Amino acid sequence: MWILEQMGRAAAGAWSVAAQMAPYLLFGFAVAGLLHLWLPATWVARHLGGRGAMQALKAALLGVPLPLCSCSVIPVALSIRREGAGRGATAAFLMSTPQTGVDSFFVTYGLLGPAFALIRPVVAFVSGALCGLAVDRFTTGGERPAPAASTAPAPALPGWRRALRHGFGTLPSDVGNELMIGLGIAGLIGALVPASYLADKLPAGIPGMLLMMAVGIPMYVCSTASVPIALGLMQAGVSPGAALVFLITGPATNAATLGALGRMLGPRAGAVYLVCLAASALLAGLAVDLWVIPAFPAAAPSCHVEPASWMGHAAAVLLLAVLIGAKLRKRAPNAAGPPAPACSCRGTAGPGA
């Protein structure tokens, strides 16, 4: 009976979080579909060709809004590299892109508040830019010449159907599994770990952040699915800074990202990538705990999930239908168009957007 009771509490907690985040996530999916039309992968690759500090900055900035997880960013980064992007630009794009996106921005805003919603893209840009500059500084050779400008006419923009298919088909199919797992973990934490239980058990300051980093770096979690997990951790007593470390390191890397980075840019670039990621996460976490929260108490994320309105519950039902429909269409043998490769975290990945 105890197990059934805890499972019921976990399911109720997961559904409550889903009802809170669903309106923001659905809106994020719609914006991501439009962004897919305005910034297709071929455009990104063409405009990031070349080398130098400016290219690293452009790559980090352009990667921030793109709704690509740490697996689906790999083929896009590979395309950028093949088009002539330097090591630094490729590394900057690989780091900044999976940390956040338009979909995770709205979910972060809904669950953790506006301060965290702004902090995440700022950290993604800064860490990506620093990583790109460091890779250019500490690695040499292997650069590719920038491609000649194409004289072919630009293809006409696809219509609203492609935006809908990407925003409510491809993207939900890519993040659906991780999103459901993230909600499940948040529900389990809420059911099994009493409120503030970890407050006096998790080491404070840098040791606690290092622990969150040790959990986040090898774990695969997309930027959207990491939000409910971070909320559950803070409900259990983890500091906002330590939760931010998890929000940075979890989406930014996994075994597939590191393996692809080593193949594309070399092992030294992979080491620089990890050092920059760890330093950026620790500095951001310390800044939040030691400066942002004390100076602006209102910026602290609310760890209490308010009861959702009927609109939230309706949005959660719609979100569940979108996720299930996207998975069914992806598996349908007669689905229109070639099947998209699955986003795998065991060494290979297909384009997720």
3-class SS string, the chain: CHHHHHHHHHHHHHHHHHHHHHHHHHHHHHHHHHHHHHCCHHHHHHHCCECCHHHHHHHHHHHCCCCCCCCCHHHHHHHHHHCCECHHHHHHHHHHHHHCCHHHHHHHHHHHCHHHHHHHHHHHHHHHHHHHHHHHHHCCCCCCCCCCCCCCCCCCCCCHHHHHHHHHHHHHHHHHHHHHHHHHHHHHHHHHCCCCCCCCCCCCCHHHHHHHHHHHCCCCCCCCCHHHHHHHHHHCCCCHHHHHHHHHHHHHCCHHHHHHHHHHHCHHHHHHHHHHHHHHHHHHHHHHHHHHHHHCHHHCCCCCCCCCCHHHHHHHHHHHHHHHHHHHHHHCCCCCCCCCCCCCCCCCCCCCC
The predicted model scores a pTM of 0.70
Owning domain of residue 233: 38-142+161-331
Flag whether 131 is in a domain: yes
Flag whether 30 is in a domain: no
- So what's the pLDDT on residue 304? 57
- So what's the pLDDT on residue 254? 65
Flag whether 259 is in a domain: yes
Q: How many domains does the chain have?
A: 1
Flag whether 216 is in a domain: yes
Flag whether 10 is in a domain: no
Flag whether 326 is in a domain: yes
- So what's the pLDDT on residue 141? 57
Mean pLDDT by 10 residues, the chain (353 residues): 81 82 80 72 63 83 80 67 77 89 87 90 94 86 45 52 83 76 77 67 85 80 82 86 91 71 80 92 94 81 68 89 84 53 40 36
- So what's the pLDDT on residue 329? 80
- So what's the pLDDT on residue 336? 47
Flag whether 268 is in a domain: yes
- So what's the pLDDT on residue 340? 46
Flag whether 349 is in a domain: no
- So what's the pLDDT on residue 248? 92
